[in-house]
Structure 1
Amino acid sequence: MKIREIMTRDVQTVRSDDSIRHAAKLMDELNVGILPVCDGRTLVGVLTDRDITIRATSAGLTPDRCTVADVMTANPRYCYEDDPVGSVTELMAGQQIRRVPVVDRNDRLSGIVSLGDLATDAKNDRAVGDALERISTPSRPDRD
C-alpha cells in the first residue's frame, strides 16, 4: 500500500511571512495541530501548535509581530506519495513524529499523513501499533 492511498489531501497551508496569530486561528478553525508552510505549492517548513507554544509564547513573542518563519521547523521530514506505508511508518517511529507532509516527485505538497490516517486506513495493524509505541516512547529532555 502506498501513502497516497491513506494520506489526507487538500490540506490548508500558511506562508512563512504569515503571523503566528493567523496560523493559530487557522489551526483552531480546522482543529489541527500542524500546518505545512509553503512557497506556492513547495514545502519549506511545518508549523505545529507546539512550535507556537514553545518557541513563540515561552519567548514572549507577540503573535501579531512574530511570523511563521520565526518559529517554524524548516526543512522538515517528509515522504513521497508513492512511498510504501511501511517505510513512512518507520520514518515516523524513528524520528518520533506523528505527522508527515507528503510531496509528489516534483516536491510539491500533495497532502499529509498522520498516525490517525495510519490507524484508520492502513491494513497492517501490527505495524501501526509498533509505530505508535515507538513514536510515543518518552524522549529525553533537551537540556543544553
Structure 2
Amino acid sequence: MTTAADIMSSGPHWIPATESLDRAAQLMRELDVGALPVSDPTDPHERMCGIITDRDITIHCVAAGHDPSHVTAGDLCRGTPRWISTDADIDDVLQEMESHQIRRLPVVDENKRLVGMISEADVAQQLSDDQIAQFVERVYA
C-alpha cells in the first residue's frame, strides 16, 4: 500500500502568519514552490493555521489592489486548512484533494505536526494515465 508518507515532499518550509506577502512570494521563488504552510503565531513551526499559494497572493492581494508589503500571510488564511496523515493511503489522498478541489495537501504526523506536502506532481507519479485524467477532471472541474 502506497501511503502519503511515501509520496510527499518532506521538510516543508513555513512562513509565519505575521510575515508580509511580498516576503512570502520571494520565499516561494527561492524554494521553487507554489504554496507555503502558514504557522500559527501562538505556536510557530508546530501548528498550521493555513496555507497560502502564489495564486492567493496574485488574486486576493495584487489584483485586488493591495500592497503585498502591507498584507500578511495570516490575512490570506481562510477557513480550516485541509491535511492528511502520513499513514493515509493514496486513495484517501486522492479523495481529499478531489473532494476539496485542492492541488497541494499538507501531511501531518501522529502528533499533528506538519512533516510534508503532496502536490499534483507527487500524485501523478503514482497514477496511470487514465487515473491522472480522472484526477485532473475532478480537481479542476
TM-score by length of 2: 0.88
Which whole-Å deviations, capped at 9, do the CAs of 1:86-142 have from their partners, x for residues lacking one?
01101111111111011112110000001100112x2x42444322221122xxxxx
The yes-or-no answer on 1:25 pairing with 2:20 is no
| Most deviating of 127-136 and 92-101 | 127-136
Q: SS in structure 1 opposite 2:66?
A: coil
- RMSD after superposition: 1.4
The change in CA–CA distance for 1:34 and 1:73 in structure 2 (over 3 A counts) is: farther
Q: CA deviation at 1:43?
A: 1.3
Q: CA deviation at 1:71?
A: 1.3
Q: Supply the distance in 1 between the matched residues of 2:49 and 2:79 (Cα, whole angstroms).
A: 6
Q: Supply the distance in 2 between the matched residues of 1:71 and 1:60 (Cα, whole angstroms).
A: 14
- How many residues align? The count is 135
Which of residues 58, 65, 71 in structure 2 aligns to 1:66?
A: 71
| Most deviating of 13-22 and 71-80 | 71-80
Q: Supply the distance in 2 between the matched residues of 1:105 and 1:74 (Cα, whole angstroms).
A: 22
Q: Unaligned regions of 5+ residues in structure 2, if any?
A: none
Contact conserved, 2:14 with 2:45, CA < 8 A, in 1? no
Structure 2 match to 1:140: none
The yes-or-no answer on 1:135 pairing with 2:139 is yes
Matches within 5 A, 1:71-86: 71-86=76-91
Contact conserved, 1:99 with 1:113, CA < 8 A, in 2? yes
Structure 2 match to 1:34: 35
Structure 2 match to 1:56: 61
TM-score by length of 1: 0.86
- What letter matches 2:15 in structure 1? V
Structure 2 match to 1:142: none
Structure 2 match to 1:13: 14
Q: CA deviation at 1:74?
A: 4.4
Matches within 5 A, 1:119-134: 119-120=124-125, 122=126, 124-125=127-128, 126-134=130-138
Q: Supply the distance in 2 between the matched residues of 1:37 and 1:74 (Cα, whole angstroms).
A: 13
Contact conserved, 1:79 with 1:101, CA < 8 A, in 2? yes
Q: SS in structure 2 opposite 1:64?
A: coil
